Structure 1
Amino acid sequence: MPEQTAVQAHIWINGQPVESRSDMTVAAALIQYQHQQTHVSVSGQPRFAVCGMGVCQECRVSINGQPHRLACQEYCCSGMVINTEYGGQ
């Protein structure tokens, strides 16, 4: 299978435009953009992606209006809208 080349992905994180790449997970883009957390929990506590494979579910965000998506399991693509507050709701 031929290797795919990563392309620029123009995404939105909490209403802010962010340049990313199609070979980055949403969690990686969040870490690059926010540096300290991947989302805010229902109780208002900052959370960070821990396992990187979807088990801990500490990276839940809203992607294109769909809540509770696992940022470590989704790859960035242009036009993607990500909301990190309150578990993505």
Structure 2
Amino acid sequence: MNDADADADADTARIRLSIDGRRIDVEAGTTVAAALVIAGVKGARLSAGGERRSALCGMGVCQECRVTIDGRAHALACQTLCHAGQIIHTHDAALAR
């Protein structure tokens, strides 16, 4: 294996995390916001009016992507990288009921 092969393998490493109790695998380096899309989550949180909200700006300014990550509330999904064993909670699970 040469250095280019090793770099390609590192780029495609997969990690497992939990979103609203459902385990999913994503590539290392994926943001939590992207993982939410991959998992089919339709809304990260609820607005004051009860509407679903999710990542909009992708750079942390709008704060529409706030979720609970590893017990830390109001974490910005678009600014947080996924890590193995991460536990993410959104309001989407409650809305689906």
Question: TM-score scaled by structure 1?
Answer: 0.82
SS of alignment partner, residue 34 of structure 1? coil
Structure 1: which 5+ runs fail to align?
none
C-alpha distance in structure 2 between counterparts of 1:6 and 1:47, whole Å: 30
Greater share of helix: 2
SS of alignment partner, residue 38 of structure 2? helix
Could you list the per-position Cα deviations for residues 9-64 of structure 1 after superposition, in whole angstroms to 9, with x for gaps in the alignment? 10000011111122110000101112533x12154321120000000000000000
Structure 2: which 5+ runs fail to align?
1-6, 93-97
Q: What is the count of residue pairs matched by the alignment?
A: 83
The runs of at least 4 aligned residues of structure 1 exceeding 4 Å deviation read: none
Larger radius of gyration: 2
RMSD: 1.9
Using the aligned pairs only, state the percent identity: 40
